[in-house]
Structure 1
Amino acid sequence: MGQAKPMFLPMTPHAFILRAREGKNPFWMYLVGILLVFLANILGSLPYTLVASLRMAERPVPLSPEELTNPMALGLHPAIGLFLLLLSFAAGVLALWFMMRFLHERPFLSLVNIRDRFNLEKFGTAAGVWMALMAGFELVAYFMDPDNYTFTFEAWAFFPTLLVALIMVPIQTSMEELLFRGYLLQGLGLGTRRPWLALLLTSIGFGLLHGANPEVATFGPLILLYYIGFGLAMALVTLMDEGLELALGVHAANNVYGALFVTFPSSAMQTPALFTLSEYPVTLMTVVWVVATLIFIGFVAYRYQWQDWAKLWRPLAPASPAEEPLEE
Structure 2
Amino acid sequence: MYIAEAFKYRHDFWRYIIGTILVVVGVIIGQIPLGVAVFLERGMDMASMTEGELMQVLDSNFTFFLILLTFAAGLGVLLLVVKLLHNQSLRSLTTSRKKVDWGRIWFGFGLVAAFTVSVTFIEYMVNPEDFLVNFQPVPFAILVGIAIVMIPLQTSFEEYLFRGYFMQGLGVLVKNRWIPLIVTSVCFGGLHFFNPEVTQMGNLIMIYYIGTGFLLGIMTLMDEGMELALGFHAGNNLTAALLVTADWTAFQTESIFKDISDPTAGLDVLVPVFIIYPLFLFIMAKKYGWKDWKNKLFGKVEKPEDIKHIEEI
Task: Name the structure 2 match of 1:317.
Answer: 302
Are the structure 2 counterparts of residues 162 and 29 from structure 1 closer, same or farther at C-alpha, using a change threshold of 3 Å?
same
> How far did residue 283 of structure 1 move?
2.3
Amino acid across the alignment from 1:126: G
CA 1:38 to 1:50, structure 2 compared with 1: closer, same or farther past 3 Å? same
Cα distance, 1:182 vs structure 2: 0.4
Percent identical residues: 34
For the 8 Å contact 1:133–1:292, the answer to whether it is kept is: no
Contact 1:152 1:275 in 2 (8 A): yes
The DSSP-based 3-state class of the residue aligned with 1:171 is helix
Q: Distance in 1 between matches of 2:303 and 2:164?
A: 20
- 1:75 is matched with which residue? 58
Partner of 1:283: 266
- Say if 2:85 is the partner of 1:117: no
Deviates more, 1:219-228 or 1:42-51: 219-228
The one-letter amino acid paired with 1:314 is G
What letter is aligned with 2:177? P
The whole-number CA distance in structure 2 between the counterparts of 1:174 and 1:99 is 15
Deviation at 1:248, TM superposition (A): 0.7
Query: 2:36 and 2:58 mapped to 1: Cα distance?
Result: 14
Q: Determine the structure 2 residue equivalent to 1:63.
A: 49
Please report how far the alpha carbon of residue 224 of structure 1 lies from its aligned counterpart in structure 2 after TM superposition: 1.7
What is the match of residue 139 of structure 2? 157
Q: Does residue 303 of the first structure (1) align with residue 287 of the second (2)? A: yes
Alpha-carbon displacement from aligned partner over 1:211-262 (angstroms, at most 9, x marks no partner): 2211112122222221110000000000000110100111111111111101
Which residue in 2 is equivalent to 1:140?
122
What secondary structure, in the 3-state scheme, does the structure 2 residue paired with 1:150 have? strand
Match of 1:248 in 2: 230
Query: Offset of 1:301 from its aligned partner?
Result: 0.5
What is the count of residue pairs matched by the alignment?
303
Letter in 1 for 2:298: W
**Aligned position for 1:8:** none
Counterpart of 1:300, as a letter, is M
Map 1:1-328; keep pairs closer than 5 Å: 15-57=1-43, 63-68=49-54, 70=55, 73-76=56-59, 78-115=60-97, 117-279=99-261, 280-290=263-273, 291-311=275-295, 312-318=297-303
> Unpaired runs of 5+ in structure 1?
1-14, 324-328
CA spacing shift, 1:30–1:60, aligned 2, 3 Å: closer
**What secondary structure does 2:2 align onto?**
helix
Cα deviation code 1:91-126 (max 9, x no counterpart): 111111111111111112211101352211111111
What's the C-alpha RMSD, in Å, of the aligned pairs? 2.0
How far 1:136 sits from its partner (Å)? 2.2
Give the direction of change, closer, same or farther, for the CA distance of 1:299–1:62 in structure 2 (3 Å limit).
same
- Looking at structure 1, the residues matched to 46 and 31 of structure 2 have their Cα atoms a distance apart, in angstroms, of 24
Task: Give the distance between the partners of 1:61 and 1:297, measured in 2 at CA.
Answer: 45
TM-score, normalised to structure 2's length? 0.91
